[in-house]
Amino acid sequence: MNKDEIKTKKDFALYYQSIGLNIIPVGANKISLIKWEVYQNKCSTVEEINRWWGQWPDANIAVVTGKISGLVVLDLDIKHGRTSKEFKIPATVCAHSGNGGEHFFFKYPTNGHIKSGSAISGLGVDIRASGGYVLLSPSINETGGIYEWIVPFESKDDLAEMPEWLKKITVDNANDKKWLSGKDGVSEGLRNDTCASMAGKIISSLDSQLWESLGWELLKVWNQKCSPPLIEKEMRSVWNSIKTKHILNKKEIAPSAKFTSLNDLLNEPEEALNWVVDDLLPMGGISIVVAKPKVGKSTLVRQLALSVARGENFLERSTTKGKVLYVALEEKRGEVRTHFKLLGADGTEELGIYVGSAPEKANVWLESEIKAQHPILIIIDTLFRFIRVQDVSDYAKVTSALDPLLKLARENNTHLMVLHHARKMSGEGSDVTLGSSAIFGTVDTSILLKRTQNGLRTLETQQRYGKDIEETILTFDQTIRVVSLGGSKVEEDTKVIKEAILEFLKPSKEPVLEEEIDNEVEGKTGLKRKALRELVKENQVSRIGAGKKGNPYLYSCFLVSDIYAKQENENVL
């Protein structure tokens, strides 16, 4: 099924079934509407899905986890304070649950068996595998909470392998300890697997300097116990494979860094700071755009891409005209094409576009494109679709993954912008970002997009260079899908509060205390005081009293007209 055709829950159910998921109907109370146990061993059909959602059009959609769908789901419950920040989680398909928690989807392991379970690492950490199911977007729970994708499920190829820590506490797997059961030798059919397990045990137990002198000799002693023993060439192949894997998993520090003397540092010339977007995006820098889904990240950066390619202003800031590369890893090709047409692109702009999955060896591919095309700006939409980090919450791993991108930007004097998803729960600054704070620590400019409760979009920046943009309202032209800066968020909030104060005061026949206004009008206390004083200054509200104990300030609207009337009478006389 084409994703553009998806409108109803039945359409979603059929789409999920088409990509290999075993789908069943579930009520808002998370209880299956059918006898679902049989579907742990057989897949639902298109006919069954049509019949179920014909009977229950608003039924929630659940996927049967485990081997039948090739799926394991880690369920982190926010009610118990459990989030992805405390675990090493690789980049993979993930979603927000109806109660604000997080679901991380992984491939079911080829070896071993995993049962669904609760509190596998304390309260609020559950696993859904064999014998379980999980609700999918756009399901809604009993309290109205919506299940929505953070990284959408489009293909099983998007699933990461289960992290090792999760395997250790969930997988019923004897393979990892074959060395123990086979320590006294094994028969012909078990030799290779046991040899790999034994080699891994020996290598992980010894210092690397002893691998060959002691470790290899120990493996040869074990091999002589097998019936018959492996030929040495075959055993050496297994040993080298395990050794190479172990080396690649270790982090080695090359002794190539050199110190600069203080005298040389002080005598170095000042570096000129040039801008792709004036006072916002530095050349040779890296930036991040963070927002929740559907707030407008992609819309904003496509406008940026075209502005730079044309040398036109962006958000009231001048740009340096140059080649732009836009990497769209989550967007549909038609959506990208339509938006650029609406923006008025005619194809003469120096703007290269890639739409699809991240290429193999993405960093190498991007570096070759930079060398060939010399772009001034590169936009990657989104970050963790481009770099496959084993654990998005691990500071060291995220930093390590970002370093090659930072190096590309610095060495080629281009600006690299990445898009990233915000957490569902509210937060400020780096706290809104899904995953590690290492992301904010690496970038030069952070652009935060938000949607307020009254539907307004806002933008603010945190910058290493240039002046931060305070939280500012974004205006959005629905016709051509262009955003522009409006007034500051503080100004907009103050305006709304001023209107609310006037609405409260006008019906009152007696002056009221500031405390009464504070209790009746919604908003931040500081903004309410600011709004009230501005109204007084603008003569829309009158204030009497001395503002002291026994003679407090009193506010009203009706006294304003009396004051004006008195002034008019005095002028006539």
Instruction: Report yes or no: 103 and 148 within 8 Å, Cβ to Cβ.
Output: no
Percent of the chain with pLDDT over 70: 89
Beta strands in 309-406 (DSSP E): 324-328, 351-355, 377-381
Coil, helix or strand at residue 397: helix
Is the pLDDT at 53 greater than 70, yes or no?
yes
Q: Is 0.85 topped by the overall pTM? A: no
Q: Is the dihedral of CA 436, 441, 442, 443 positive or negative?
A: positive
Is the pLDDT at 405 greater than 80, yes or no?
yes
Q: Is it true that the peptide bond before 65 is cis, omega within 30 degrees of 0?
A: no
Residue 487 CA to residue 506 CA, distance in Å, equals 27
Q: Where are the alpha helices (DSSP H) in 425-466?
A: 438-442
Is the pLDDT at 560 greater than 70, yes or no?
no
C-alpha distance from residue 43 to each of 18, 38, 156 (Å)? 11, 9, 16
Provide the b/e sequence for 496-520 (b: ≥16 CB within 10 Å).
Answer: bbbebbeebbeeeeebeebeebeee
Predicted confidence at residue 257, as pLDDT, reads: 54
Coil, helix or strand at residue 532: helix
Is the pLDDT at 393 greater than 50, yes or no?
yes
SS (HEC) of 479-515:
CCCEEEEEEEHHHHHHHHHHHHHHHHHCCCCCCEEHH
Q: What angle do CA 485, 487, 492 make, to 5 degrees?
A: 135
Q: Where are the alpha helices (DSSP H) in 186-231?
A: 191-205, 216-223
Residue 393 CA to residue 74 CA, distance in Å, equals 15
Beta strands in 145-237 (DSSP E): 148-151
Mean confidence (pLDDT) of the chain: 84
C-alpha distance from residue 102 to each of 93, 99, 188, 290 (Å)? 11, 9, 46, 18
pLDDT tens sequence across 528-548:
888 888 888 889 999 998 888
- Domains in the chain, start-ordered, CATH in brackets? 3-170 (3.30.720.160), 175-249 (no CATH), 275-480 (3.40.50.300), 492-572 (1.10.10.10)
pLDDT tens sequence across 169-215:
787 544 456 777 888 998 888 888 888 889 888 887 887 788 888 99
Percent of the chain with pLDDT over 90: 38
Average pLDDT over residues 142-166: 91
Residue 74 CA to residue 103 CA, distance in Å, equals 6
* Maximum CA extent, the chain: 124
